[in-house]
Structure 1
């Protein structure tokens, strides 16, 4: 559709000007003020490359250009502290798509709205200073579309209304491919989904700055592990802790492990490591107390048969919580979440607790990660309910013995939030932050009171190249300060076979503001082309190449550590985990993230 629209667009602009140059002044009236105009018709199919620059340049033959003068005294916002400026446009059909970008006289982006799939855009500019601004009304994907535009200055709602401001992040990133020797065992798999893939990568760091990266090869090929002792400049491949690490170190072969279906890795306060690796029959947990040199491996760590999607988290030096979704053999064929607890760094897990109780009417869908508040020992996890429009929090205040469940968000009936895993993080103040996805939008909600109440969810992704987002993940630092990563594309459907995907980072220094600000920038170029299916093994062939998630971190210096999967050009070739570290520390405002 976009190629067709672009062809129409190119043909039409050669014969006539399709857009206009407009202007207006918004003047202080000691209260609310607004100016309105009607614009279009607009025809085109173009967008900003992740808010970085429009090609071709947006001018009055392509876009509507509205030259705004904001005339207010210097003390206006001190007298009206809850006022803000919004630019809104509306049109008649959600088949058409118009975006809004606002720039100051120096060409700096001061606000944008580019959501897609709607009949309106609302660029929240906050307390915009007096001056001259250029509003670009961009035909992202439309034909002969007219619209109504408004700039208004008014008091913001007293309560959060699910709105956010979006600004360009000044972040810079680099990338490093993590290589490994070719497998010498099981190197001719019957099904390529299970071998040579290094998928669903996870990155963590320990208290002295060592960085560990894990990635799955698939059952029974095990989980790969790498370590950096120089802040991520170089990495050493350590083999597969759940299988052939010793053999690989001796040069005898790689490629077998009691696991590799899913993995998670975490680090304790003294540097101990735990790596959980799924093999469906149970979960293999590998524990190391010497920096991943040697491991003690327990192939039945979950204590339960037929598990799926395990996550783990350390508390202090020796306590490890491991959670799994049990596939029905224990509770009359109903899915149930369990948590087991280790007191010896992940070697044994003697404590078993049932989290969701089907007899009481709560069953899980997709289950997110587990986290522990290092200040008080509270344990939290997040999951989608059996009804896919529900997000639940599970909380334990007694060391994982008993669990309370709370419905923290419910979207309208008929909608689905089950687009792979929700994710939860704890900031250094003990506040909770949850991200989830509705198939287009990545959403954030936060809690100041240990999960008792939650902010209205706000959309994280915006911009022409992030109209659709999937698989968000959140990392928390100081109070209210978050890094959120997601896959973003300009396509309107995550199953679009021509979609081009990038990894984006959205950072907010103020998640608890009534209108939080997100600084957004791509962390990568296009790293995947095609669909990203989120239905697990039910996905059509060739649409699940990235699998279900990537799990980032924030390093000791405040820089983000993203992690991705680098796909080979040919399916039969090896796919590699790729570290994508931030290199600038701009807008970071992060101390060490919570463990």
Structure 2
């Protein structure tokens, strides 16, 4: 059976003795292909554990980049658990004008997640700002998001990962200068992997992550800028798709999730949520450990109702070729973006081709994928794609590409000098790496991305070779070089220019060592986040007028939906139980959230689970729906709900729920005391 890949905690660290030394950033010689000089974002060489005499080597990996509507640029990167994450900020008014070659004078903003399991004597959570010596609670993965208020400084949200307890969340309302006290339990379900976030409006932030027990993609909403994520819940893999993409049983191939994206356009599609993931093409392939060869996008439109729960419907973008080898479409994360007119774009890699598809009807149907990379990159290894979009059809895609044919994981072809069967780099020799594959950063830009035949202009935007050898796309299960981890990102600024942050290990870490020469694989490399930004347009003028993306097809004739949110009396007199739900019958789908602090035997928290297809039936103004549930974050339970729309809501509508499972039974019913239940004829 094929092993499931985990990415969130795949970045380890090396313990080293020694003093802390600061690294001075550099700018390369010349701007390249319309982009600024590449610049290294400085970090300490090592991070001592307080009062221990032991230090960890500091790395800048998997950088996330965002630019808010005021033009402030944020770059975050990870050190590895429990080293925490780092943040750099550039704001022209506060930090000064660009230097020679267009480089930005970034301000180092410290470790926003530094809640310090080792730094209690340095202030712990209260001292999480500008404290490079402490070790953060997270650091396995990081993502950031900016909000879009009508006025004022945009909120900046940040999430960082450690497997247990889970995801740490924090946010800043002053451009990264200070952050809220990190909240280490923002995920409703403990035991999480590879989280992503995206923002809309002044303070709404959406979080997605894998829950390890089922490997569904959990989605939560924050209404407070990312301090908590308690205001909305869904699972992005719908019950019809889960058998082909889910992680039950645990031997399944399951899926790899990309970043969640929210539509921020002014079109009717505004507020839609989109979740891209890759998975096997069928139930049988998932059960037999097949390749993650097909690309899916989950779409939520009822999220815009603002209820405590919402649903996703999944659509297959691309069924990869049968018999796909290696990781299929998982090389690494698939990526997705939405432009300012509601058009949606997806990119992924089969390890050689960067593939691109678009949707003009809110994620329901997709164009036949095209190979985006061109020229000398064709046939070589091309991995780690990421995409940004704005305007009307303006799309930018970045990826890592090397200089020769061969899979990015193939040591025999990309790291010659040892037998292919050895599956390990040569371990000695000062010239060993001179014949290895050389990697650069590529950028392709289009101003007609949703046309039937979009045109992309491709360029190299790294002004030096950033890495030599293999690049693993296998997460913890990979046998190739993981020095650059799993991803890097691109974001557009208000001028429609690309901002790119990527990891780089081309330099020797001579301040820590060992230093056995620049071409010796036993030499310790300096791994840092690098940054470059676009200075001139490369693909033509960006279109900022035109028509919105089209609407999805209407629901089938006779389809019905019921929604609700509010309170009923708790089992304990004087308390209330909270509920929220969405249920529809064609195809059957339901999302449920229920919480009763006064339940006999102790508080209960119930969430639906898409591991089985729910049954949903309607009768007059009532609906009954049943399905699988998680009770207090544990799977293996079932729920049964009956809800009636009595209009106008409180005092008329009724709600009944029962929950059962191993050695457990609960039921409650009553007229709702607040909120509303509503039948929708579709």
Shorter-normalised TM-score: what interval?
A: 0.5 to 0.7
Q: How does 1:18-417 map to 2 (within 5 A)?
A: 171-186=34-49, 195-230=57-92, 233-243=104-114, 247=127, 253-270=132-149, 271-281=154-164, 282-296=166-180, 297-328=182-213, 334-350=214-230, 351-357=232-238, 360-361=242-243, 362-363=245-246, 364-375=254-265, 376-387=270-281, 388-399=292-303, 401-415=310-324, 416-417=328-329
Write the distance in 1 (CA, Å) between the matches of 2:89 and 2:171: 15
Instruction: Please tell me the root mean square deviation across aligned C-alpha atoms, in Å.
Output: 2.8
| SS of corresponding position for 2:476 | helix
Write the distance in 2 (CA, Å) between the matches of 1:485 and 1:444: 12
Q: CA deviation at 1:529?
A: 0.6
| SS of corresponding position for 1:537 | helix
Q: Judging changes above 3 Å, is the alpha-carbon distance between structure 1 residues 201 and 509 closer, same or farther for their aligned structure 2 residues?
A: same
Q: Judging changes above 3 Å, is the alpha-carbon distance between structure 1 residues 254 and 490 closer, same or farther for their aligned structure 2 residues?
A: same
Matched-pair contact (CA < 8 Å) for 1:200–1:550 = yes
Matched-pair contact (CA < 8 Å) for 2:43–2:58 = no
Q: CA deviation at 1:580?
A: 1.3
Q: How does 1:463-474 map to 2 (within 5 A)?
A: 463-465=375-377, 467-474=380-387
Q: How does 1:408-447 map to 2 (within 5 A)?
A: 408-415=317-324, 416-447=328-359
Write the distance in 1 (CA, Å) between the matches of 2:528 and 2:52: 17
Deviations 1:554-594 (A, max 9, x none): 122222111111214246454211111122234353489xx
1:554 corresponds to: 492
Q: CA deviation at 1:508?
A: 1.4
Matched-pair contact (CA < 8 Å) for 2:194–2:209 = yes
- Which TM-score applies when normalising by structure 1? 0.66
Q: Which runs of 5+ in 1 are unaligned?
A: 1-168, 329-333
Matched-pair contact (CA < 8 Å) for 1:218–1:261 = yes
Larger deviation, residues 570-579 vs 464-473: 570-579
Matched-pair contact (CA < 8 Å) for 1:248–1:254 = no
Matched-pair contact (CA < 8 Å) for 1:174–1:582 = no
Write the distance in 2 (CA, Å) between the matches of 1:188 and 1:589: 57
Q: Judging changes above 3 Å, is the alpha-carbon distance between structure 1 residues 258 and 404 closer, same or farther for their aligned structure 2 residues?
A: same
Write the distance in 1 (CA, Å) between the matches of 2:172 and 2:453: 44
Q: CA deviation at 1:184?
A: 3.7
Matched-pair contact (CA < 8 Å) for 2:196–2:208 = yes
Aligned length: 418
Matching of residue 540 in structure 1 with residue 479 in structure 2:
yes
| SS of corresponding position for 1:491 | strand
The structure in which a higher percent of residues are strand is 1
Deviations 1:167-189 (A, max 9, x none): xx953442111102344434999
Q: 2:372 aligns with which of 432, 449, 460?
A: 460
Write the distance in 2 (CA, Å) between the matches of 1:513 and 1:424: 17
Write the distance in 2 (CA, Å) between the matches of 1:235 and 1:591: 30
Q: Judging changes above 3 Å, is the alpha-carbon distance between structure 1 residues 582 and 187 closer, same or farther for their aligned structure 2 residues?
A: farther
Matched-pair contact (CA < 8 Å) for 1:241–1:295 = yes
| SS of corresponding position for 2:323 | coil
- Which TM-score applies when normalising by structure 2? 0.58
| SS of corresponding position for 1:490 | strand
Q: CA deviation at 1:468?
A: 2.5
| SS of corresponding position for 2:79 | strand
Write the distance in 2 (CA, Å) between the matches of 1:384 and 1:531: 23
Q: Which runs of 5+ in 2 are unaligned?
A: 1-31, 99-103, 116-124, 247-253, 282-291, 304-308, 416-435, 510-522, 545-682
Write the distance in 2 (CA, Å) between the matches of 1:410 and 1:365: 14
Q: Judging changes above 3 Å, is the alpha-carbon distance between structure 1 residues 198 and 180 closer, same or farther for their aligned structure 2 residues?
A: same
Larger relative contact order (C-alpha < 8 A, sep ≥ 6)? 1
Write the distance in 2 (CA, Å) between the matches of 1:323 and 1:382: 11
Matched-pair contact (CA < 8 Å) for 1:336–1:358 = no
Q: CA deviation at 1:483?
A: 0.8
2:574 corresponds to: none
Matched-pair contact (CA < 8 Å) for 1:443–1:459 = yes
Write the distance in 2 (CA, Å) between the matches of 1:530 and 1:357: 39
Matched-pair contact (CA < 8 Å) for 1:435–1:444 = yes
Write the distance in 2 (CA, Å) between the matches of 1:205 and 1:520: 22
Matched-pair contact (CA < 8 Å) for 1:196–1:573 = no
Q: CA deviation at 1:422?
A: 0.4
Deviations 1:250-286 (A, max 9, x none): 6x65241111101100100131011010101210011
Matched-pair contact (CA < 8 Å) for 2:471–2:482 = yes
